Homo-oligomer: A and B are copies of this chain.
Amino acid sequence: MSAIVYPLPGNEVVAHSLAAEIDGEIGKLVVRRFPDGESYFRYETPIDGREVILVASLDRPDEKVLPVIFAAGTAKELGASKVGLVAPYLAYMRQDKRFNPGEAVSSIYFAKVLSSWIDWLVTIDPHLHRRSSLDEIYSVPSATVHAAPLVSEWIRGAISAPLLIGPDSESEQWVAAVAADAGAPFVVLEKTRRGDRDVEVTVPDVDKWRDRTPVLVDDIISTARTMIETVGHVRAAGLQAPVCIGIHAVFADNAYVELKQAGAGEIVTCNTIGHDSNRIDVSGLIASAVRRVLPI
């Protein structure tokens, strides 16, 4: 029997595409808050012993984790054969070690919480730093997919003369790869330190690139600080308004507006987190990963 794909609130678009791609059924559920702040959860579409796929992007995770747990627990009680979680954006990846004494290594605890309720996990570009894979923290099988090829494809299709820009030398490898894939040149901003508080940031070969559209790419746009700074340097050098691309549109507080005000051109994100800037659809990518884990 086909799988049922249940979107938690806000995940309807990706869930519908996913259901179509894997020949699954789309299911309905209800999540709401009681006046006292507790969450209510109910499946409207019966489960009937089938494979259940929950789609829940986990930005702003604290409010979302109990509904996901309630969904997983209820599905199992109601006889689901397996309960998988598709989290296009996965939270709590940054605090992956104890940087200071007494700190919670939240990435481990969050993984442990989720792993005890779900049977498998699919996500896109989790923010892996000191971990080489999710398997180090998640005890359930997982599949990770990367949106970079979709980003390169979007750049190829939408921008006639792009110039990829890396904010610093650390970003060179990642920017170089996206640029190569997009068939575009790239530069990395140069820092010249003249004193403790006097650092000049310049675009190399700036005259050569005046006719090109600068393109900035990052995995997560959260506070957008790095991107806003980079936009400033690019505009100060006299280049065109840069297109700003992020895989995950977290946009903390007022970051989206601030990035626009800083002089960004178009702001483009993948639909891993629902946002006005979503231009790149990841559901095909998710479907390919789900197909890999489904026979588990």
A interface vs B, CB < 8 Å?
29, 33-44, 46-47, 59-63, 65-66, 69-71, 73-74, 77-78, 91-92, 94-95, 100-106, 108-110, 112-113, 116, 220, 222-223, 250, 252-253, 255
Contacts and interface: CB of A to CB of B under 8 A. Distances in A.
Contact of A73 (B42, B43, B63, B104): B104
Within the oligomer, what is the number of copies of this chain?
A: 2
Contacts of A61: 37-38, 66
A70 B36 contact: no
A60 B35 CA distance: 9
Nearest to A41: B104
A40 B220 CA distance: 18
A39 B106 CA distance: 8
Contacts of A59: 36-37
A250 to B, nearest CB: 5
Nearest to A255: B35
Given A37-B252, A74-B105, 19 more contacts: A34-B252, A36-B220, A38-B61, A38-B62, A38-B91, A38-B92, A39-B62, A40-B106, A41-B104, A42-B104, A43-B101, A43-B102, A61-B66, A62-B62, A62-B65, A66-B110, A71-B104, A73-B108, A78-B102
Given A36-B222, A223-B35, A41 B91 contact: no
A290 B71 CA distance: 34
Contacts of A74: 102-105, 109
A95 B37 contact: no
B62 A37 contact: yes
6 contacts: A36-B60, A37-B60, A38-B91, A39-B106, A43-B102, A73-B112
Given A62-B66, A63-B63, A109-B73, A102 B44 contact: yes
A101 B30 CA distance: 12
A39 B113 CA distance: 15
Given A44-B102, A78-B102, A70 B109 contact: yes
Contacts of A60: 36-37
Contacts of A109: 69-70, 73-74
A106 B41 contact: yes
Contacts of A250: 36
A42 B102 contact: yes
A213 B225 CA distance: 60
Contacts of A222: 35-36
